[in-house]
């Protein structure tokens, strides 16, 4: 009986390993050069980073809703660095209060689980073009099957953006915007004990963008780097990233 049980466990473990092996892994390259967080992609190391585009859209109602986003990420001993390049014909921002609703604006977002499996929690950071951040720890099943967000999570994120166009003025057609962020690794202190930020560690993540194109109302389009079922907080739709050494 004991042997049977052992075999069963082995098969399950092998299955899970296969799953992990088949998954696309987004490589996050280590930078040995300082990154100036200014919204400009001129550090040579960014050219060595992998690029993911956000090809999975939802709530698209017209062709102009489907706007392109390119996403890059780097790491060093102190920070995770993120870079979003967003094409955008209508650049908008409203929310100015931290932990409010910047996700109803043009907004760059990242959800992170500091282990390579879908836990029932993730860190979320969502930033609009007023540098307003909604940052939280999301619990999928906190109480009676309901989620809850711990919004008291307020990491000291460095944020910079550029705008090629006009903010909150739809009388013209804009080109787009960029956002560069440095998220301190110490924000994950304690929870990173299993897979600390170092070469070879893998984390689950989802990178996304909200795209608001109208000044009035709350209509917006979302796009992600991995396919989702519209529930972007479902950890089962997250993909994998791996921290790798400098090229
Ligand atoms: Ca820069
Ligand atoms: Ca917060
Ligand atoms: Ca927009």
The alpha carbon of 203 and the centre of ligand 3 are apart by a number of angstroms equal to 29
> Does 15 map to a domain?
no
pLDDT of 36 > 60? The answer is: yes
> Does 114 map to a domain?
yes
The alpha carbon of 143 and the centre of ligand 1 are apart by a number of angstroms equal to 41
The alpha carbon of 106 and the centre of ligand 3 are apart by a number of angstroms equal to 5
Count of CB atoms within 10 A of residue 22's CB?
Answer: 7
C-alpha 174: how far from chain center: 24
Residues with CB under 5 A from ligand 1 (ion): 36, 38, 40
- Sequence-distant (≥ 6) Cβ neighbours of residue 155 within 8 angstroms: 125, 135, 183, 184, 187
pLDDT tens digits along 37-87: 999 999 999 999 999 999 999 999 998 899 999 999 999 999 999 999 999
Q: Which domain covers residue 224, as residue numbers?
A: 26-244
**How is residue 113 annotated by DSSP?**
E
> Does 129 map to a domain?
yes
Helix (H, G, I), strand (E, B) or coil at 223: strand
> Does 224 map to a domain?
yes
Which domain CATH number covers 219? 2.60.40.1190
> Does 14 map to a domain?
no
pLDDT tens digits along 179-188: 999 999 999 9
> Does 107 map to a domain?
yes
As for how many domains the chain has, the answer is 1
The alpha carbon of 115 and the centre of ligand 1 are apart by a number of angstroms equal to 28
């Amino acid at each position: 009986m004991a042997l049977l049980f052992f075999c069963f466990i082995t098969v399950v473990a092998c299955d899970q390993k296969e799953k992990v092996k088949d998954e696309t892994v987004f490589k996050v390259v280590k930078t040995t050069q300082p990154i100036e967080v200014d919204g400009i992609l001129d550090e040579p190391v960014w050219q060595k980073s992998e690029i993911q585009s956000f090809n999975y859209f939802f709530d698209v109602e017209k062709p102009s809703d489907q706007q392109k986003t390119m996403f890059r990420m780097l790491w060093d001993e102190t920070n995770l660095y993120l870079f979003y390049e967003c094409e955008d014909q209508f650049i908008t921002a409203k929310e100015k209060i931290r932990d409010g609703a910047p996700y109803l604006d043009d907004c760059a977002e990242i959800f992170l689980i500091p282990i390579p499996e879908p836990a029932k929690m993730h860190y979320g950071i969502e930033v609009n073009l007023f540098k307003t951040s909604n940052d939280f720890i999301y619990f999928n099943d906190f109480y009676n099957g309901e989620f809850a967000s711990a919004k008291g999570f307020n990491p000291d994120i460095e944020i910079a953006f550029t705008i090629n166009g006009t903010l909150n003025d739809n009388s013209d057609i804009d080109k787009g915007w960029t956002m560069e962020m440095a998220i301190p690794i110490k924000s994950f202190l304690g929870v990173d004990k299993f897979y600390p930020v170092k070469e070879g560690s893998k984390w689950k993540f989802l990178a996304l963008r909200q795209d608001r194109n109208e000044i009035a109302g709350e209509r917006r389009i979302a796009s992600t780097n991995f396919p989702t079922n519209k529930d972007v907080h479902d950890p089962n739709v997250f993909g994998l990233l791996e921290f790798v050494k400098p090229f």
